[in-house]
Structure 1
Amino acid sequence: LGLESAEDNFRTHNLTITGNEESSFWLPLYGNMCCRLVAQPFCMANNVMTGFLNQQQLVGSLINWRRLYCVLRGGKLFCYYTPEEIEAKMEIYSWETRIRAVDKGTKKSINNFSVINPVNGEAVTQLFAADSREELHKWMEAFWQHFYDISQWKHCCEEFMKIEIMSPRKPPLFLTKEATSVYHDMSIDSPAKHESLTDILQRKIEETDGEFLLGQQKESAPSLWAPLFDGSHQMLVQKHIVVPDAKSCPLILIAHGTE
C-alpha cells in the first residue's frame, strides 16, 4: 500500500506475498483484503511551532499591536490570547499559512512577516511581528519546513484523517485461557492421548473382524429360552420343588408348540 491508498473509505486490495531465504512466510495467503489505510502526518497531528507573536491592528487611522500566542499546525496558524486557552479550545483566530517576509522598508518592520488568508475569494493579509530577529528566523524556517511536508503528504494534509477506535468487546473464549499450542486447543478426547484417528479406526476394524466398516455387528447367540416362545418347537421342562413336611413331588411344566 502506498500514499495514494490512504483515504476515508474502505478499499479492496490484492494480496501479494513475497519471501526469500532470509525472510519467508508461513501461511500461503491469497486473494483479497479489505481495509482502510489512514495517514496522520506529524505536521497534521502535532504542533510544528509555538510562541508569542504581535499582530498589527488598524483602529481608525491608528496602528495597534496585540500580543497573541500562536500555534502552527495542519497548514494553519492558530492564535490565542494565552497558552491556557489551548486546552479550553478557545481559539480566536486561525489563518491559512500562506506567508511572506515583509521587505526591509524600515527598522520597525525588520522582524515582520505577513500571513495571507483567502476570505470569500479575496486575499486578506495579516501582519505579524516577532520579538527578535532570531525568533523571526525560527518562525520562517518552521513555515518553509511545514510547507514542504504538506507538499509531500499531498491529499493526506487536506483534512485530518481520524482513526476510528472500536468499542471494547468481550474477548473470544480461546483468548481467556492461557496461551497454548493450536494442537492442544483443538484436540478431541480419545482413549489414548496421542492416539490418532487412523489408530482408532484400525483398532475398531480388528475388534469387529472388519464388520465395523460395513456397519454390521455379529448376531448375538440366541437365548436358551427363545425356542419356548417362537411357536415352532415342543419342549419338556421339569422343575423340582421341595415342600417342607411333605413328600417331594416333581412339578412338570409342558409347553406345546406347532411345527
Structure 2
Amino acid sequence: MLGPYTRTPHQLAEDYDLQQKIDLEIKMREGTTKLLAACKHPVQSLEASKSLLTSNERMNAYIAELQQRKASEKNGNFKNCCANVEASKARVSVSEIRIPLIWKDTDHFKNKGDYRRFAVFCLLKIGTEIYDTALMNYVDRSMTDVSFDDIVVFHHVPSDFKLKLEVYSKVIQDDLSIASTPRKIKKKISSSVSRTFGRKLAASLKDEFSENGPKFDLIAEATLTLDDANDCVRTHDLVIDSENRQSSLPLFGHFCCRLAVNPDCINEERISNYLRVSEKSDHHSPKEWPVYWASLKNFKLYLWKKRLADMMETKMQTPDIIIPINKNTTVKAIKPSVFNITSNDNKTYSLFVLNEHDLQLWTDHIKQHIEDYVSWKSAAENVMEIPSPTPSRTNMILRQRVPGSLYDETPLNGSTLKGSLKH
C-alpha cells in the first residue's frame, strides 16, 4: 500500500515530463537572452522580447503546477490513476482571431492625431500549455482591426477547461530599453522544486533580470469555456486593463475567434469485442443469440454481424445495428453475463458478453460514454472540425536561416541539465 508521501509510477512519469519541459525552456531562454543582447534592429528585439515573455509565462505555469502537485501530495489528494475508464479528453482549437480597434474619426479617416504605432501579439493558455501568436508590427490608425492567421490546437483537454486569451502590446519607439523579465518568478522557485534544480533554474533567470529589452504590456484578456465553443466565428467580451487604457492600443472591448472542440471519443474507439445481441424479448438462451462485432465510439454502439478486416472496410460498410448513446441512454447488468441498453426511444437491447469478466468493463465504458456526452454538451451533439495547427515559427526560421545570420552567430548552451525534482 502506498504511503501518503509516496508517488505512483504515473506521478513520477508526469514529474519527469514536466522537468524535461523546464529543462527545454531554460535552454530556450538562454539562447533568446543572447539573441536579445545581439539584436541591432527593433523588430529583432521585439521578437526576442516576445519569446522571453512567452517563456516566462510557461515557467510560471510549470512552477504553479509543481506547487499544486506538492500540495496535493502533502494533503494526500491523489488522482485515481488506476480507474478502469477515464473521462474522454478533447482537442481544442482557436483560429481566426480578430481584435477590432476603435480610433477617433480624425485619426482613422483624416489620418491625423494619434501617430503611434504598436506591436501586438496574443498568448493562448490552457493549464500548462501556452502558445503565442505571430507578432503584428506597425499597427496604426490606418487599421480597423488586428487579425491573426495563427491556428492553435490544444490536446488532452478536460471538459471543464478554461482557455485564457491575453493581448500584449508595445508602443514602437526608438528607445527600447525596458527590462523584459518579471522578478516574481524567482520568489516561487524555492518552494516548488528541489534545491539543486532550483539553483539551476534561478541561475538561468539571474542574467535575464539584468538584461534590457522591449517590454510588452498586458492590455486585455478573456476567458473562454466549453459553452463558448462553436463551429463558426463568434464574438466574445474582452476585459481591458484599466491601468494601461490611456497609453495602450485603442481596443473596442470585444474580439472574434473560432473556438472548436472535438472530444477524443468521437474519433477514438473506446472498447470493442464480440457480443451476442437480442433486439427484443428472446426466450432463447443468450448463448443462442446472434454474434456481432461491437465498437463503441462517437456516442454510438456500432454492431456488425461479422468482424471487418480493416478500418477502411469499417468506414465503407454500414453497421447492422446502431445504438445511440446519449443523456437518455441507460445501461444495467441483469445477469452475470448480460446487460441491457435502453435508448431514448425506449427500445431495449440485450447484450451477452462472451467472457463473464468483460461485463463490468462494457458497462463501465458505456456509462462513461454517457457521462462524456453530458460533459461535452454541444461538442458531443455537433461535430466541430479541428484545423491543422500553424507550423512552429521557430522551426521555420531555423530551416530558412542563411549562413552568417544572427542565429548562426549566437551560441547556444548545449549542455544538458540533469537536475531532478525532489521526491
TM-score of the superposition, structure 2-length normalised? 0.33
Query: Is contact 1:15-1:30 (8 Å) kept?
Result: no
Residues 1:37 and 2:259 aligned together: yes
Q: Does the alignment pair 1:78 with 2:309?
A: no
Per-residue CA distance 1:72-126 (angstroms, 9 max, x = gap): 11221011221426421212221113243243xxxxx4211122234xxx42212
Q: Does structure 1 residue 2 correspond to structure 2 residue 225?
A: yes
Equivalent positions of 1:93-108 (< 5 A) are 93-97=321-325, 98-103=329-334
Q: Whose RCO is larger (CA < 8 A, sep 6+)?
A: 2
1:56-95 correspondence to structure 2 within 5 Å: 56=278, 64-80=288-304, 81-84=306-309, 86-88=311-313, 89=315, 90=317, 91-95=319-323
Hey, what's the Cα distance between the residues in 2 that align with 1:176 and 1:140?
A: 51
Aligned partners of 2:356, 2:250: CA distance in 1, in Å? 60
Structure 2 partner of 1:53: 275
Which residue pairs with 1:178 in the alignment?
Answer: 401
% identical equivalent positions:
22
Cα distance in 2, alignment partners of residues 113 and 59 from structure 1: 13
> Is 1:117 the counterpart of 2:117 in the alignment?
no
Aligned counterparts, 1:85-234, within 5 A: 86-88=311-313, 89=315, 90=317, 91-97=319-325, 98-103=329-334, 109-118=335-344, 122-164=345-387, 178=401
Aligned-residue RMSD, C-alpha = 3.5
Secondary structure of 2:377 counterpart: helix
Segments of structure 1 that go 5 or more residues without pairing to the other structure are 19-27, 104-108, 167-173, 182-259
SS of 1:133's equivalent in the other structure is coil
Task: Tell me which protein shows more helix as a share of its residues.
Answer: 2
Task: Read off the aligned partner of 1:96 and give its amino acid letter.
Answer: P
Map Cα deviations across residues 141-177 of structure 1 (whole Å, 9 max, x no partner). 11122222222212211122122459xxxxxxx9996
Q: CA deviation at 1:53?
A: 0.8
Looking at CA atoms only, which structure, 1 or 2, has the larger radius of gyration?
1
CA distance in structure 1 between the partners assigned to 2:281 and 2:310 by the alignment: 25
Displacement of 1:7 in angstroms is: 0.9
The offset of 1:58, in angstroms, is 6.6
Letter matched to residue 100 of structure 1: V
Distance 2:387 2:233 in 1: 12
How many residues are aligned here?
A: 158
Instruction: Please tell me the residue identity of whatever aligns with 2:322.
Output: S
Pick closer, same or farther for the CA change 1:69–1:177 going to 2, 3 Å.
same
| Separation in structure 1 between the aligned mates of residue 296 and residue 358 of structure 2, nearest angstrom | 14
Q: Gaps spanning 5+ residues in structure 2: where?
A: 1-223, 242-247, 390-396, 407-423
Separation in 1, partners of 2:359, 2:281: 25
Instruction: Give how far 1:15 is off.
Output: 4.1
Distance in 1 (CA, whole Å) between partners of 2:249 and 2:371 is 39
SS in 1 for 2:259: coil
Structure 1 counterpart of 2:343, one-letter code: N
Cα distance, 1:59 vs. partner?
11
**TM, length-normalised to structure 1:** 0.51
